[in-house]
Chain A
Amino acid sequence: MKLELKNIHKSFGDKKVLHGIDMTVQSGRALGFLGRNGAGKSTTIRCIMEVFRQDEGDILLDGQPFHAKNQHVGYLPEERGMYSKAKVLDQLVYFGQLRGGTKKDSKQSATKWLEYFDLGEWAGKPLEQLSKGNQQKVQIIQSFVNDPDLLILDEPFSGLDPVNAQIFKDAIGGFVKEGKLVIFSSHQMAYVEELCDDIALIHEGNILLDGDLDAILKARSKNRWVLEGKDNKALRELIEQNFPSFEIESHEDSFIVDAKGELDQAALFNAIANQGLLLEKFERWMPTLNDLFIETVGGEKQ
């Protein structure tokens, strides 16, 4: 399956929130949807889920107009909420049925996921009796019930402790392996980096980056290299003398060299060898997703 957003525009009154969003999500590849608060993530997701209708643009699934209610979608909205007085299993079955499942299948599936998230004993209790963290897990479970083909999760990690986050990540990984189409927005870059094959980065209603995460990171590495020697000080002085155009910045126990173009590795190694210095580490510098995020959307404000 391929979900495509083409030139999506959305305004609320005079305020334009989305300025022509283009984005593609493929099944079997999780997409991390990133952006600062108010960037337009939830509005985009709500357009996909038809909570809002976009003013302009198309949302297509395998080339056909996409209607969330006609597909088997698991959705976790940013605004969490279920029935506080109703029993946990009852409402999970209800939401499963509303999304087209039978009562029997929904019950079976809900029970399975409650056990998976270690909430089996709470099945017959009203939601309000659960802790906030457990309520968050119930919210996640409602999106998993009946094995959806598409999973659209808005900030799914918020409110989860590290143990539950790991359980959730494993579940998401399982969905991706099964070839499901998964989109989730998050501020936790480490989770996105770990789980996602693709990212889309939105800023002020525009997609600034979109595509394969590794390829984006590699492209952002430019011609920057990490060097670490037996004697870092001597090594750094050598580079400064012999390659004055290089930009050098410290990086943990090593330093990063920006060659400002193609690096002549032979010239660099010869210079080091001629000085009798020992090189312990030489590798292409790859930014983290966090670096990428701050560099892309944080710089303007700083």
Chain B
Amino acid sequence: MKGLFTVFNYELNQHIRKKSVIVTTIVLALILFGITFIPRLIPLFSGSGSSDADPKDISYGYVLAQGAWPKGLEEAVQSLPAKRYETRSELEIALKDGELKTGFYLESPLKFETLYMDRTLYASADIMPGLLASFYTNSQLVSKGINPEDLPSILHPEVEQTTTVLGQDNTSTAFIAMFLMLIVYFLVLIYGIATATMVAREKDSRAMELLITSTSARSLILGKVFASAVAAIMQLSVILFAAFVGYQINKSTFPEVIHLMLSGTLTTNYVVAYIFYTLVGYLMYLFLYAALGSTVSRVEDVSSATAPIQFLFIFGYMIAAFGMNMSDSILFRVASIIPFTGVLVMPLRTALVSVPMTDHILAAGLMGLFTVLIAYLAIRIYRWGTLNYGNKTSLRKVVTEALRNKD
């Protein structure tokens, strides 16, 4: 046990003292902290730019063609605000001189032409059809003895509605759950490779013989994997804490929908499932990576040795990602129970649908069992790999020999 603590302390220290880890943690924490300020900063930037679509910032001009015009129409057009020109050529000169950005040549109460000098990407004359249509509708209503102010309540009567979701509300939980799943995805890939590399480097540098004669293979593998796990959790905690502090500071500026999403996702059920499956599944994958790292003699062989497990994990991610739209399918359910995919799928499934307790018991039991078995296998492979330098051996042969090995 003492050996395990010694290995754990040493490896953890080596991890968290790495410059790359410190810099990455600080940068990610600052980015997430900064992101929480975005809702507060948005109002500072909105309204400062010019947009042709905003009637207050646009200089409009109009010309009324010859003929009889209904009473009140011109006042409505002027309220844009807009300036009247007597002839079409006067309107064109004003556009060419830059006095106006948009000009309207009104031929009748329901027909007009829009004139631009240069038509920009955002230029729009949407305001005029609405204005004319509204004026026409109101005139017709008045002529039929209906008060235009009553129209909205006639067309859109208020319908009272209440919604009761007996299980999980996908509409509010999917986004946050997906985000939290991505964290696990990157955690496993980044720290998994780091763990495999760490083990391979010991063989590469020939330090393994010294280690294996100083303490047990069990202490070495468990110490290394636990150190990797704790280092990742520490790094993640710092980053999420920065986001949490930022959220607390800017809480009031966040749209209501974000609060609803957070409160809808972070239920006790989900949090417990997320923490359990993430921690145990993460450990299981680290043991796998450590075992695969022991099978190679050179650091540069790590990526090829770990490729099968990378594919398996990415497959789990794909099921989780596609499962968002089929959360009650058999595939999604099976993937949530199989330990290798369950690490990503089960927390997501818990967020999206109501998962029966039997599924949780089965998934958690299998994951626990596989973690212990893979840890045992990793220890055997590590011990077997101590002095097996040279050509890369097939995984099947490695496992067979490691289990047979008596040393």
A residues whose Cβ falls under 8 Å from a Cβ of B: 46, 49-53, 68-69, 73, 75, 77, 79-84, 86, 90, 94-95, 97-100, 142
Report chain A residues within 8 Å CB of B406.
53
Q: A53-B406, A53-B407, A98-B214 are in contact. Are A81 and B3 (CB under 8 A)?
A: no
- Secondary structure of the A side of the interface? loop
Residues of B within 8 A of A75 (CB): 210, 213-214
B386 touching A84, Cβ below 8 Å = no
B14 interface residue per 8 A CB criterion: yes
Q: Which of chain B's residues have a CB closer than 8 A to the CB of A53?
A: 406-407
Closest to B214 in A: A98
Q: A51-B407, A94-B6 are in contact. Are A84 and B205 (CB under 8 A)?
A: yes
Q: Mark B367-407, 1 if CB is under 8 A from A, else 0.
A: 00000000000000000001100000000000000000011
With both chains docked as a complex, state the minimum distance between the C-beta of B380 and any C-beta of chain A, in angstroms.
Answer: 14
Name the 10 nearest CB pairs between A and B, nearest first. A81-B206, A98-B214, A79-B206, A81-B207, A77-B209, A97-B6, A49-B213, A81-B205, A98-B215, A53-B407
Query: Which residue in chain A gives the minimum CB-CB distance to B387?
Result: A51
Of B2, B10, B13, B213, the contact of A77 (CB 8 Å cutoff): B213
Query: Which A residues are in CB contact (< 8 Å) with B202?
Result: 81, 83
B211 at the interface (CB under 8 A from A): yes
Establish whether residues A68 and B213, one from each chain, have CB atoms under 8 Å apart when the complex forms: yes
B56 to chain A, nearest CB (A): 63
Minimal beta-carbon separation of A38 from chain B (angstroms): 16
A47 and chain B: residue at smallest CB distance: B407
**Shortest CB distance A153–B (Å):** 13
Q: Classify chain B's interface size.
A: 20 to 34
Query: CB-CB < 8 A to A51: which residues of B?
Result: 209, 212-213, 386-387, 407
Give the complex CA separation of A79 and B209 in angstroms: 8
List 17 A-B residue pairs with CB atoms under 8 Å apart, sorted by A's residue number.
A50-B407, A51-B213, A51-B407, A68-B213, A75-B214, A77-B209, A77-B213, A79-B209, A80-B206, A82-B205, A83-B202, A83-B207, A84-B205, A86-B14, A90-B13, A94-B6, A98-B7
Distance of B33 from chain A, by nearest CB (Å): 31
Q: By the criterion CB–CB under 8 Å, are B10 and A94 in contact?
A: yes
B14/A69 in contact, CB under 8 A? no
Contacts of B216 in A (CB 8 A): 69
- A94–B10 Cα distance when bound, in Å, is 7
A51 and B407 CA atoms in complex are apart in Å by 7
Q: Which residues of A contact B206 (CB under 8 A)?
A: 77, 79-81
Please, how many angstroms separate the alpha-carbon atoms of A81 and B389 in the complex? 14
Q: Residue of A at shortest CB range from B212? A: A51
Most buried by A among B207, B212, B387: B207
- Most chain B CB within a 10 A radius of its CB, from A52, A73, A75, A94: A94
Bound-complex Cα distance A99 to B387 (A): 20
Please give, as numbers and ranges, the residues of chain B lying within 8 Å of A94 by CB-CB distance. 6, 10
